[in-house]
């Protein structure tokens, strides 16, 4: 019988040490909010309900997450007073089913993996499982105390630990999988009779042990999975740790990085074999690279697909574009959203393309702007050519058919169609359609005055 799974995410903390007007859980790591990482991770599992406990900046948190995760059913619960982790889970009880299990997670612990959470859920065979970690320096952290049979009997905080207990190296992460029936039983019984006058979630471990429940502990594959973020130094450190993990996985898959410490992947990057990535390259969103792609320094690639054997020269921006195989781009090219470059095309120096398709083997080499255009195969677009696609109110289309040649410094005033194998003379302003195989000139006639006397300055 399949057990239903709820997720409770504690996201009420202010994050005072971040020194920010933005709630801590909305701070970003690898281009995504901390809370967004947690939501993406837990929903790799089969989750029946997600409860987010919010507090400081609750309206900001709700707006940001609702806009980005509208597809997820989320229940929001306010924690109006921050009275400890036990209290934070307790305020969610009214929304929590009486049966099934719950994962208890934290909005500022962003990198726990789906694999770890799946193992944690599987490990809960008697009512409760927890995520622990064995580290060399556990100072300041709660220790996992076990009995002579190796079973968990308590969590001992640093300030309460004896000399022997302080030698324990297994620590509590605070992440649990608990039967909902136990949460409904134990959380109302929590006491705040302690120095901090807070309700500690760790007390449910003591209650479970008293009830004879065997608590299973598992450890994550990577220590960073349980690292939380409390200040900007920790955020920066975790960012580099995560970037290093992503880069290592890509290296194993066959990607070469000129310097693994000087690349940022703020999303998902899928790459083929024999890919080279130079320094200062940034990937954002979902990006795919084919085999033998070569990316030079300083490029920014966002939500784009790049085909086999493409070459991106330095400082190109590729944003929501689809690029075929064997395409040569840049340097300093700007491919804006809805750009499609077909196989073996070329886009050169300081070229901007927006919402346009460039056909097979076509070239836009220098200092040109192509917007709202369909360019056929084997077209040559000269330096300084622009498609005049906007009249101040409407955007209009330019169509350039196969084998056409557009000379340098031409303006194509849309809507306009250039026929197959047509030639547009350099410096022309084209306002009407051009037939196939025709030569079109749209420029003022040249006038020459021989022996022209140049103006001179008058002497004072």
Strands (E), 355-407: 357-358, 363-366, 369-371, 373-375, 380-381, 386-388, 398-400, 405-406
- Return the pLDDT at 160: 81
Residue 2 pLDDT grade (very low, low, confident, very high; cuts 50, 70, 90): low
What is the mean pLDDT of the segment spanning 330-358? 98
329 phi and psi, to 5 degrees?
-135, 135
Q: 91: left (phi > 0), else alpha (psi -120 to 50), else beta?
A: alpha
Q: Which domains does the chain have, with CATH numbers?
A: 5-226 (3.90.550.10), 232-440 (2.160.10.10)
Quick check: helix, strand or coil at residue 122?
helix
Q: What is the mean pLDDT of the chain?
A: 95
Instruction: Based on the residue annotation, tell me whether 366 is a catalytic residue of this protein.
Output: yes
Please tell me the predicted confidence (pLDDT) of residue 140. 83
What is the C-alpha separation between 344 and 326, in angstroms, rounded? Answer: 5
Give this prediction's pTM.
Answer: 0.90
* pLDDT > 60? residue 1: no
- Residue 192: predicted pLDDT: 87
Neighbours of 304 (CB within 10 A): 21
Contact present, 379 and 404 (Cβ < 8 Å): yes
Q: In the prediction, which pLDDT does 159 show?
A: 81
- Indicate the SS3 state at residue 114: helix
Express the helix, strand and coil content of the chain in percent, nearest 5 each. 20, 30, 50
The C-alpha atoms of residue 344 and residue 410 are separated, in whole angstroms, by 24
Residues 6+ apart with CB under 8 A from 95: 49, 51, 75, 77
Q: pLDDT band at 43, cuts 50/70/90? A: confident
Residues ≥6 apart with Cβ < 8 Å to 373: 356, 357, 387, 389, 397, 398, 399, 400, 414
Are 135 and 169 contacting, i.e. CB atoms less than 8 angstroms apart?
A: yes
The pair phi, psi for residue 404, each rounded to 5°, is -70, 155
- Reply yes or no on whether the pLDDT at 228 is more than 70: yes
Please pick, among 222, 311, 320, 366, the residue that the annotation labels catalytic.
366
CA distance 436 to 419: 4
Residue 157 has pLDDT above 90, yes or no: no
């Amino acid at each position: 019988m399949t057990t239903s799974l709820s997720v409770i995410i504690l996201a009420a903390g202010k994050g005072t040490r971040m020194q920010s007007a933005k709630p801590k859980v909305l701070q970003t790591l690898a281009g995504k909010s901390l809370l967004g990482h947690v939501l993406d991770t837990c929903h790799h599992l089969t989750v029946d309900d997600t409860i987010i406990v919010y507090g400081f900046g609750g309206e900001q948190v709700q707006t940001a997450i609702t806009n980005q995760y509208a597809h997820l059913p989320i229940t929001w619960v306010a924690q109006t007073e921050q009275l400890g982790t036990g209290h934070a889970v307790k305020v969610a009880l009214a929304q929590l089913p009486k049966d099934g299990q719950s994962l208890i997670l934290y909005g500022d612990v962003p990198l726990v993996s789906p694999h770890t959470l799946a193992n944690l859920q599987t490990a809960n065979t008697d009512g409760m499982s927890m995520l622990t970690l064995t580290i060399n320096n556990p100072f300041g952290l709660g220790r996992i105390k076990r009995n002579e049979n190796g079973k968990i009997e308590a969590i001992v905080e640093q300030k309460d630990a004896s000399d022997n207990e302080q030698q324990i190296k297994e620590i509590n992460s605070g992440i649990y999988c608990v039967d909902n029936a136990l949460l409904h039983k134990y959380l109302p019984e929590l006491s705040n009779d302690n120095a901090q006058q807070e309700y500690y979630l760790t007390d449910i471990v003591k209650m479970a042990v008293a009830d004879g429940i065997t608590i299973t502990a598992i450890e994550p594959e990577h220590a960073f999975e349980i690292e939380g973020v409390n200040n900007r130094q920790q955020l920066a450190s975790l960012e580099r740790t995560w970037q290093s993990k992503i880069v290592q996985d890509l290296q194993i898959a066959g990607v070469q990085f000129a310097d693994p410490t000087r690349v940022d992947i703020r999303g998902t990057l899928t790459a083929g074999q024999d890919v080279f990535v130079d320094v200062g390259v940034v990937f954002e969103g979902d990006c795919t690279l084919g085999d033998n792609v070569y990316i030079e320094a300083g490029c920014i690639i966002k939500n784009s697909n790049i085909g086999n054997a493409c070459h991106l020269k330095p400082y190109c921006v590729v944003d929501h574009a689809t690029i075929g195989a064997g395409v040569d781009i840049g340097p300093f090219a700007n491919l804006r959203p809805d750009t499609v470059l077909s196989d073996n095309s070329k886009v050169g120096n300081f070229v901007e393309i927006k919402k346009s398709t460039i056909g097979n083997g076509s070239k836009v080499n220098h200092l040109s702007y192509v917007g709202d255009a369909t360019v056929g195969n084997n077209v040559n677009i000269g330096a300084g050519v622009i498609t005049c696609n906007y009249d101040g109110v409407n955007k209009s289309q330019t169509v350039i058919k196969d084998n056409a040649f557009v000379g340098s410094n031409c303006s194509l005033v849309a809507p306009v169609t250039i026929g197959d194998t047509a030639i547009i003379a350099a410096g022309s302003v084209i306002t009407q359609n051009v037939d196939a195989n025709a030569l079109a000139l749209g420029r003022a006639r040249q006038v020459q005055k021989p022996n022209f006397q140049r103006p001179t300055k008058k002497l004072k």
